[in-house]
Copies of this chain bind each other. A is one copy, B any other.
Amino acid sequence: MRGAILYGPGDVRVEERDTPRILEPTDAVIRTLATCVCGSDLWDYRGVNPAKDPTPIGHEYAGIVEEVGAEVTAVRPGKFVVGSFFAGDGTCPHCRNGYPSNCLHREFVGGCQAEHVRVPWADGTLVATPGLPTDAQVPDLLACSDVMGTGWWAAVAAGVQRGDTVAVVGDGAVGLCAVLAARELGAERIIAMSRHESRRQLARAFGATDIVSERGAEGAARIQEMTGGIGADRVLECVGTEQSTEQALKSTRPGGGVGIAGVPHGVQIDGAALFYSHVAVQGGPAPVRRFLPDLIDRVMTGRIDPGRVFDLTLPLDQAAEGYRAMDERRAIKTLLHP
């Protein structure tokens, strides 16, 4: 089969790879109908996380089940499924507590920018749609496998409730999906922080009521000003730098919550500042599987359309251009069709 391989900084190639097959009785193999490039893939692409050897890349996928292992009961061949980038067994205490992305037996589902994907722990990881989706729904469902699930998690971790004022730090695909999540969870005022016109437009379409272009300390001061010196009820951190984390903490009212969806890179949090702020913080790799049934339902019933974050669609063979476009910020997010 064809699949994307990262050879080194800036060097992604689509080549022949071994077609994955069932290795464990709990596996499924799916035929990928759509996959995509993640902001977090860019860390590897830019060499921030240096790859030692050529590595199959990609961790977002949606497609048709081709084959399942002997112990798989929740999905069967022919079903359209969406899954999470972390496979979890669905039965360990962490999974039962709602944290499948911290499953005691979790496995990263890598190499997904390819025609086929092996998904471990299929019962605990994949969710089938009720009937086959339309072509138009496929990007929306694909978005649920990571960015929409991660934006939703940011909102849940921050504790978004009906009527809240919510600020979203970061205007990448996750930040935009976090705006959509805040809207769906009933936030009354949603402040998106963005400097890019195309992203601002999508933020508004997803439910943002206000747009702020300031960043860092100025961004936090602007949120304080807009909320009468009180702070936002919830702030969704979708970047992962020290500056964005501090901005999020300083934008939140005492007793409010910060949900951290951006993978922290070099972030230190001052314990005393956090303490005196009275702000509640939770983050982590999104427990996407927890939200998938609900998100799939919202897509299939037309409530949400997170696939709009894909502003570039290419055949899988042009993955290299998909990476370049995102790296150069010409695209928010690239969808790849195998």
Q: Which residues of B contact A281 (CB under 8 A)?
A: 274, 280-282
A264 to B274, CA, bound (A): 9
Cβ A268 vs Cβ B267 within 8 A = no
By DSSP majority rule, is chain A's interface helix, strand, loop, or mixed?
A: mixed
Copies of this chain, how many?
A: 2
Cβ B263 vs Cβ A275 within 8 A = yes
Cβ A270 vs Cβ B268 within 8 A = yes
Give the contacting residue for A230; candidates B94, B98, B283; CB below 8 A. Answer: B94
Cβ B278 vs Cβ A274 within 8 A = no
Q: Taking A268-B269, A271-B268, A278-B102 as contacts, is the C-beta distance between A253 and B285 under 8 angstroms?
A: no
A40 to B282, CA, bound (A): 28
Most buried by B among A254, A260, A268: A254
Residue on B with the closest CB to A272?
A: B264
* CB of A245 within 8 Å of the partner chain: yes
Which residues in A have some Cβ–Cβ distance to B below 8 Å?
93-94, 97-99, 101-102, 104, 157, 228-230, 242, 245, 253-255, 260, 263-272, 274-285, 287
Supply 14 A–B pairs (Cβ within 8 Å), ascending by A: A93-B230, A94-B255, A97-B254, A99-B255, A102-B254, A102-B255, A245-B271, A263-B275, A264-B274, A267-B271, A268-B268, A268-B270, A278-B284, A279-B282
